[in-house]
Each structure stands twice: as C-alpha cells, then as structure tokens.
C-alpha cells in the first residue's frame, strides 16, 4: 500500500516539481483551465478506445455499428455521449485557456515556444473533432464534412488538390471515411500526445505558472506539490468529470438518419466550431473568408509573442484595473459592431439583388484593407492618444478578433435557417 502510494507520488513529481510557489495555488490565477483540458483529453482517449470495440470504419457498417452501440451495448450510449461532450467541451475550454494565457501575460519571454505549441494543440484538437464528426456516417456528418471540404476548394493554387486529398477522391465516400478514421484514431491522437507532454514539460521548465513579478519573488514562499497542488488539481478534475458524466446522462449525442449523398439538408451547416467561417463566407469573397482572413489571424496569433512588449504584466489579470476596463469595453463594442455589420450586410444583400458575394474587390480586398486600417487606427488611438501600453493594445486586438468570431459562430449556429437566411430560432419557422 505504502509502496503503491510512493509510486503514484513519483509519477506526479515527474509532471510537477517537488515544491510550487504558494501564489500559483490560487484557483483564480488559471481557473485550472489547462488541467481541465488535460482531463478532457484523458476522457477522450479512454472512451475512444471503448468505442473502437464496436465501431466499424466502412460506409456499409459505420452507421449500423453506432446503432448497435446505442441500442444493444450496455452503457454504449453513455460512453458515446461522454466522448461527444468531452470533445466539444475541449474546444471551449482550450479557447478559454488561450484567453487566460493572454489576459495574465503568460506568453512572454520563457513561454513563447509553449504558446506556439499550444496553438498547434488547438489546431490538432479542432482537427480531431472534425475528423470524428464524419465517423457515424449520418446525414449531419456527411453534409457538414461536405461543406467544410468544399471550403478547402477555395484555397488558391492547392485548394482543389487539398480537397481531393482529404476526400480521397472527388466525392465524399469510403476513401474519405477511411482517411478520417486513420487521422482520428492514430495520427492526431499520437501527435497530440507528444505535443501535450512537451507542453507540460515547458510549463515545468518555465518554473510553473506565471507569477506576479516582484523583487522578492525569489524568496516567495514555496509549498510541497503533494498534497497542496495535487488536492486542488484532483478537485477541479473530479468536478469536471462529474459534470461531463451527468451531461452525458441527460443529453444524447446527435445521430440523424444514415448518410444520403442524394439528399442535402437545408440548411447544410458546418460543425459549430467552424460556423464562424461559414458565416464569413456569406459576407466575403470565399478566398478571403476561408483563406486570407484565417491565415492573417493565424499568422498574427503565432507571431504575437515574438513582437516586443506584447505580453501584459505577468500573473495579474488584464495587467491592471485600467486594462480590465479596456477589455470589457473592447468586448462589448466588438460584439455590437460585429452584430451591426452582419445585420447591415444582410439588409444590403437582401435589398440589392445585384450585390454578388463573390466580388473580389468589394467583398475581398476592400474589407481586408478596411480591417487592417481599423486595427492600425485603433492601436494608434490606444497607445499614442489614450496612453495604454502596447501590451494592452495587443490584448484589445485579440479580444476583438475572438469576440467577433464568437458572434459569427452564435449567429451561424442559432440564427441561420433555410437557405442560410437569418431567422429567429424561437419564432415560427425558426431553424
Ligand atoms: C489540448 C489542449 C491544451 C491542454 C491540455 C493544455 C494544458 C495546459 C496545462 C495543464 C497548463 C498548466 C496549467 C494551466 O495553465 O492551467 C498549460 C499552460 C500553458 N498553456 Fe496550455 N493546454 C492546451 C492548449 C493551449 C493553447 C491553445 C494555448 C495557447 C495558444 C496554450 C498555451 C499555454 C501556455 C503559454 C501555458 C503556460 C501558462 C503559464 O505559465 O501560466 N495551451 N497548458
């Protein structure tokens, strides 16, 4: 008993140092979001292995194997539901974790590489969600993957090649399912696992979580990891597992009729985490909606820690009280402005028949130039006129982009009905 207890402690101490600064035990510093993401990854691996006992990756048998799982296998629906909810929650938690890293200045020197690895983790878990989406081979899966892989086709030069590579041919069919299955159960989890270990190791190498910078920091009180940190991590982890388990009991993962390539649902929507881009597609030239804007966003996120003075003071949410107010103001203004732009453009599109969404200049270059000019003007206003720091201006920019994407996602998921027209979901004929 004593021996096994020591083995567990040894394992824990491979992931954590022997002692941690007392200050980093504060739950409000990180809200345990990284740990929650790790717990969800654990749940996904575990339930994923169980699902593999029944699932059959062929277009003839995939759907019926899910039916067997949900109707005949003891606890089958429950395992499937835990897998589904963990995967979806993971996207939300990982984005919140990214936001907390930004808002507590945790991507500065010493943590830059970990930020980049984190972004790759985010990309991998989105890919994992997306490849898993096709596996039940129902109408929802088939058409969501059709929508997303046709978005790929808009990428200049190599778009059609990429589309065909993912689909394993011109159309979605057995080869697509085989490709997605291998990516979902082997390639992505393997890469995710390696990057996760690297991510955790870099947190440890950086001396643990970010702390408030003080002169006397070196002499700040340290406490043993076991039990102080472990008890807190276990509490957050167990509470999260309880939440997912209950969610999986009360709410089933969706399963529509078997995939029917001849009958497209109306509207055909991408999975919710890509709906922001599908919403952009309604307003912008496709090349800009699915390629140039996401590319600009990804390049900015990847490079932001490497520009000088972009991280907020470490360990203090929003950097200061002034920073907190700026964040709230930016989030509110960004949400209202995005909503106004969507509604305004919708009005324009529905009144002026002649407005075509695929006009390269008016719906591609012009909005892009305007967007870049807006960011330049905003940073000039914040830094030069209102005397905010560079880091606060960068924080405001990241909040603006994330809030705009969130509003596009909410509109796309709940407020778009047949033909992707705007609808009131609770009213008559809502989508
Ligand atoms: C599967 C997804 C992810 C998992 C499981 C994960 C896990 C963790 C854990 C356990 C920590 C330490 C504790 C904590 O912050 O709560 C951490 C820290 C960190 N993560 Fe992640 N993470 C993920 C995704 C991301 C993403 C998307 C980013 C941002 C791009 C990111 C950037 C960072 C950084 C910079 C730190 C160091 C923070 C600090 O020192 O305070 N991670 N991550």
Span 151-210, pLDDT tens digits:
899 999 999 999 999 999 999 999 999 999 999 999 999 999 999 999 999 999 998 898
CA of 97 to the centre of ligand 1 (A): 6
Whether 382 lines ligand 1, by a CB cut-off of 6 Å, is no
- Return the CATH class of domain 10-212+220-265: mainly alpha
Span 334-346, pLDDT tens digits:
999 999 999 999 9
Residues 6+ apart with CB under 8 A from 88: 129, 272
Q: Which residue has the CA at smallest separation from atom 25 of ligand 1?
A: 118
Residues 6+ apart with CB under 8 A from 13: 225, 226
Q: Which residue has the CA at smallest separation from atom 43 of ligand 1?
A: 34
Average of per-residue pLDDT across 117-146: 96
**pTM beyond 0.85, yes or no:** yes
Q: Structural domain boundaries of the chain?
A: 10-212+220-265, 283-422
Question: Which 3 state secondary structure label does DSSP give 422?
Answer: strand
Report the C-alpha gap between 115 and 300 in whole angstroms. Answer: 12
Average of per-residue pLDDT across 266-274: 92
Share of residues in the chain with pLDDT > 90 (%): 79
Residues 6+ apart with CB under 8 A from 339: 407, 411
How many residues are there in the chain? 431
Candidate from 34, 40, 44, 113 with most ligand 1 atoms within 8 A of CB, to mutate: 34
Average of per-residue pLDDT across 346-368: 80
- Judge if the upstream peptide bond of residue 267 is cis by omega within 30 degrees of 0: yes
Buried b (16+ CB within 10 A) or exposed e, 44-75: beebbebbeebbbbebeebbebbeebbeebee
Does 76 score more than 60 pLDDT? Answer: yes
Q: Which residue has the CA at smallest separation from atom 6 of ligand 1?
A: 34
Report the C-alpha gap between 52 and 258 in whole angstroms. Answer: 19
Whether 101 lines ligand 1, by a CB cut-off of 6 Å, is yes
Whether 188 lines ligand 1, by a CB cut-off of 6 Å, is no
- Mean of all residue pLDDT scores within the chain: 92
Does 1 score more than 90 pLDDT? Answer: no
Give the closest residue to 12 by CA, choosing from 234, 210, 240, 206.
234
Does 429 score more than 70 pLDDT? Answer: no
Whether 106 lines ligand 1, by a CB cut-off of 6 Å, is yes
pLDDT at 365: 95
Contact 392, 312 (CB under 8 A): yes
Residue 430: pLDDT band (50, 70, 90) is very low
DSSP 84-101: HHHHHHHHHHHHHHHHHH
Does 403 score more than 80 pLDDT? Answer: yes
Does 355 score more than 70 pLDDT? Answer: no
């Amino acid at each position: 008993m004593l021996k096994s207890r020591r083995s567990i402690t040894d394992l824990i101490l491979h992931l954590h140092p022997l002692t941690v600064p007392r200050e980093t035990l504060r739950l409000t510093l990180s809200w345990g979001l990284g740990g929650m993401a790790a717990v969800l990854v654990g749940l996904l691996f575990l339930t994923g292995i169980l699902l593999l006992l029944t699932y059959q990756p062929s277009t003839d048998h995939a759907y019926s194997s899910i039916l067997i799982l949900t109707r005949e296998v003891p606890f089958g629906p429950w395992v499937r539901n835990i897998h589904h909810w963990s995967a979806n929650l993971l996207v939300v938690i990982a984005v919140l974790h990214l936001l907390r890293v930004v808002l507590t200045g945790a991507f500065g020197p010493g943590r830059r590489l970990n930020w980049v690895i984190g972004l790759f983790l985010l990309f991998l878990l989105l890919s994992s969600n997306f490849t898993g989406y096709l596996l039940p081979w129902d109408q929802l899966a088939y058409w969501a993957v059709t929508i997303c892989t046709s978005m790929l086709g808009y990428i200049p030069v190599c778009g059609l090649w990429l589309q065909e590579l993912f689909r394993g041919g011109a159309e979605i069919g057995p080869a697509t399912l085989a490709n997605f299955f291998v990516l979902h159960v082997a390639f992505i989890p393997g890469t995710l696992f390696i990057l996760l270990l690297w991510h955790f190791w870099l947190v440890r190498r950086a001396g643990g979580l970010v702390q408030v910078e003080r002169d006397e920091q070196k002499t700040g009180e340290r406490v043993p990891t076991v039990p102080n940190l472990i008890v807190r991590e276990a509490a957050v982890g167990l509470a999260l597992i309880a939440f997912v388990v209950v969610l999986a009991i009360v709410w089933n993962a969706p399963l529509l009729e078997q995939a029917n390539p001849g009958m497209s649902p109306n509207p055909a929507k991408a999975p919710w985490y890509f709906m922001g881009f599908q919403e952009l597609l309604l307003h912008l030239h496709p090349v800009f909606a699915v390629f140039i804007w996401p590319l600009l966003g990804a390049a900015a996120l990847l490079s932001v820690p490497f520009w000088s003075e972009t991280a907020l003071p470490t360990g203090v949410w929003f950097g200061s009280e002034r920073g907190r107010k700026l964040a709230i103001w930016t989030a509110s203004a960004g949400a209202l402005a995005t909503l106004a732009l969507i509604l305004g453009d919708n009005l324009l599109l529905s009144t002026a028949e002649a407005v075509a969404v695929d006009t390269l200049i008016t719906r591609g270059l012009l909005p892009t130039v305007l967007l870049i000019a807006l960011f330049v003007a905003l940073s000039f206003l914040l830094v030069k006129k209102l005397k905010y720091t560079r880091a606060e201006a960068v924080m405001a920019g990241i909040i603006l982009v994330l809030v705009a994407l969130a509003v596009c996602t909410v509109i796309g998921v709940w407020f778009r009905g047949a033909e992707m027209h705007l609808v009131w979901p609770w009213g008559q004929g809502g989508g």
